[in-house]
Amino acid sequence: MTKQGNTGRWCRVSRWVLCWVCVVVGGIGLGGCGGGPSGESPFIRQFRFTGQDPQDPQLFYFEISWLDNQGDLIIFPKEGVPTNGSLLFTLQDLDTQEVPKQVKLPIRPIDVTVGSLEGVISKVGIRVEADRFPSRIKFTLLMTDANGNRSNNPWVILRTNL
């Protein structure tokens, strides 16, 4: 790679770092299914931004605290591979009319304890691929258990101070 190419990449990465170093958590909402946990659906108790990767400023980390009355985020059949629930992140640049991007991640057996009704996934990383730097970005989370039951939709808005 040429020196100019390395300089351009460094500038882009530096701008992301500068852009998001002063990130402000703009809001945490518990929209969607209203109220508290009940019935068959999992409930996301807390969804919070915990920081960025210092080596890769386009990688954002979140912590998720959840409750599941049925304990079926993962179903362990008598034989074969477990059926996993999933986490669906929707990323929306609030300054444009672009279609929101979605990132779906499986819930792994190590993220949940069999028979447990609550838990914490302490570090979920989501990469934001963008050519320009949004001043406000909204992350919305939906948790689906192995039986297809859907959770509430908490959200976090991150805002740059530039």
Would you place residue 33 in the very low, low, confident or very high pLDDT band (cuts 50, 70, 90)?
very low
- The bridge status of strand 86-93 relative to strand 101-106 is antiparallel
The 3-class secondary structure across 10-62, one letter per residue, is HHHHHHHHHHHHCCEEEEEEEECCCCCCCCCCCEEEEEEEEEEECCEEEEEEE
The domains located in the chain, with CATH, are 3-159 (2.60.40.10)
Cα 118 to Cα 64, 66, 87, 93, 146: the distances in Å are 11, 6, 15, 31, 15
**More confident call, 137 vs 19:** 137
Question: pLDDT tens across 83-131, in order?
Answer: 888 999 999 999 888 889 999 988 876 666 655 567 788 888 888 877 7
Tell me the two tokens of residue 81.
């591979």
Q: Whole-model pTM?
A: 0.72
**More confident call, 18 vs 47:** 47
Q: Which of 139, 59, 124, 152 is nearest to 93 (CA)?
A: 139
